[in-house]
């Protein structure tokens, strides 16, 4: 099934101008009417020309306004060694890396401007996930979870398309071991969308030549725990941060090394809950509502400031030491929820 494409917002602006000239559980092996797009895609008119619309989650050009006609798709993706290489991570607009039980990490990969053939492996929901995706709205994909956490996601202002709700959008890769082998089809998930409203921008973007940062940061090290960590090296030639973990490059199924344009290290408190996973390890929850310290990295430099999020439905804001909004470069952004006290280093 092909995704629906509505008329280009840029075309609409041209028509208006013309008119004016003549006189608008993972861990369990189980394998609409269009609405007006939000303000995520903008056009401007200057000297008789129409600026190309941009994608809400990257700030990059959105040819024909295609992304503005679909919701975001947030997919919970495994990061266990047996889950690698993952599919689609290198095509996500925004990725949130969170620490789960045992000190390991998982991802919430958000797709909007690009449509990968497949994404995964998908895994289960965690208690902080509804608080992360509520600001986006749109679609959410995952596979199972503790019933109380699933109930939280179903109360969130998103369309829950987990495996149980739409099994036809998922498939098992029998060359991998369960539960690290469940993959989803983004096109099948988008085809089930009941609301085509685009997501709000999550970041502010700086213009060409606009300065950034208070210090150089050629590399970043994020040692989440004894069991998980991530590192990045700035590559000036590509304008990206090349990601490594477990001593080697982090490579997707495509063969491409994960290399986002921007990084955010958001220091958060966490708490241990009364729930345990199948291994008997206590489940932890990162507290992503409130405020705290944050490091924003872009262009090989770092700005140290603060993050703030009023409630689940609010977009997280990032400000520098003077309280001014931090602007990132147009492109993909990875947000890392690092427990307070994580010895993150740059350089």
What dihedral angle (degrees, nearest 10) is formed by the CA atoms of 190, 94, 244, 216?
160
**Structure pTM?**
0.86
Q: Which residues of the chain have pLDDT under 70?
A: 1-50
Does residue 165 form part of some domain?
yes
The CA distance from 259 to 254, in Å, is 13
Which of 136, 168, 191 represents a domain boundary (last residue)? 191
Nearest CA-CA partner of 126 in 186, 175, 76: 76
- Establish how many alpha carbons lie within 13 A of residue 316's alpha carbon, considering only the half-sphere containing its beta carbon: 26
Nearest CA-CA partner of 217 in 232, 197, 198, 201: 232
pLDDT value at residue 24: 38
pLDDT value at residue 48: 56
pLDDT value at residue 79: 98
Average pLDDT, the chain: 89
The CA distance from 35 to 198, in Å, is 9
Domain shared by 165 and 211, yes or no: no
Domain shared by 230 and 168, yes or no: no
pLDDT value at residue 120: 98
Domain shared by 240 and 333, yes or no: yes
**Domain residues for 267?**
204-346
Q: Which helix (DSSP H) or strand (DSSP E) does residue 245 occupy?
A: strand 240-245
pLDDT value at residue 50: 66
Domain shared by 46 and 157, yes or no: yes
Does residue 35 form part of some domain?
no
Domain shared by 107 and 212, yes or no: no
Domain shared by 235 and 182, yes or no: no
Q: How far is CA 17 from CA 37, 52, 131, in A?
A: 20, 15, 41
The CA distance from 125 to 143, in Å, is 7
Q: For the domain that residue 139 is a member of, what is the CATH number? A: 3.50.90.10
The CA distance from 315 to 135, in Å, is 6
The CA distance from 98 to 105, in Å, is 5
177 token code pair: 């071991």
226-254 confidence digits (pLDDT tens): 999 999 999 999 999 999 998 899 999 99
34-75 confidence digits (pLDDT tens): 333 344 444 444 455 667 899 999 999 999 999 999 999 999
pLDDT value at residue 141: 98
Domain shared by 290 and 231, yes or no: yes
């Amino acid at each position: 099934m092909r995704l629906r494409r509505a008329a280009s917002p840029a075309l609409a602006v041209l028509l208006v101008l013309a008119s004016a000239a003549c006189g608008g559980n993972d861990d369990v092996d189980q394998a609409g009417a269009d609405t007006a797009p939000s303000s995520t895609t903008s056009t401007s008119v200057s000297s008789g020309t129409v600026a190309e619309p941009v994608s809400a989650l990257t700030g990059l050009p959105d040819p024909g306004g295609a992304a503005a006609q679909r919701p975001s798709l947030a997919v919970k993706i495994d990061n266990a060694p047996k889950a690698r290489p993952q599919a689609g991570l290198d095509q996500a607009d925004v990725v949130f890396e969170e620490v789960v039980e045992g000190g390991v990490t998982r991802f919430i990969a958000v797709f909007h401007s690009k449509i990968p053939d497949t994404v995964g492996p998908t895994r289960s929901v965690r208690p902080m996930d509804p608080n992360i995706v509520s600001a986006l709205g749109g679609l959410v994909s995952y596979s199972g979870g503790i019933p109380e956490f699933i109930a939280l996601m179903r109360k969130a202002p998103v369309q829950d398309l987990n495996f149980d709700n739409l099994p036809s959008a998922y498939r098992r890769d029998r060359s991998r071991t369960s539960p690290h082998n469940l993959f989803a089809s983004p096109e099948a998930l988008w085809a089930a969308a009941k609301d085509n409203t685009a997501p709000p921008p999550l970041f502010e973007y700086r213009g060409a030549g606009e300065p950034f940062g208070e210090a150089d940061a050629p590399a970043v090290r994020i040692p989440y725990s004894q069991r998980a960590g991530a590192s990045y090296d700035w590559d000036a030639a590509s304008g990206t941060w090349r990601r490594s973990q477990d001593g080697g490059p982090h490579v997707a199924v495509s063969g491409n090394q994960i290399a986002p344009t921007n990084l955010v290290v958001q220091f958060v408190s966490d708490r241990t809950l009364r729930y345990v996973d199948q291994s008997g390890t206590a489940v932890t929850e990162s507290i992503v509502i409130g405020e705290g310290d944050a490091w924003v990295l872009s262009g090989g430099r770092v700005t140290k400031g603060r993050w703030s999020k009023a409630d689940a439905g609010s977009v997280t804001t990032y400000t520098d030491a003077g309280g001014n909004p931090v602007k990132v470069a147009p492109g993909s952004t990875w947000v890392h929820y690092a427990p307070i006290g994580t010895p993150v280093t740059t350089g």
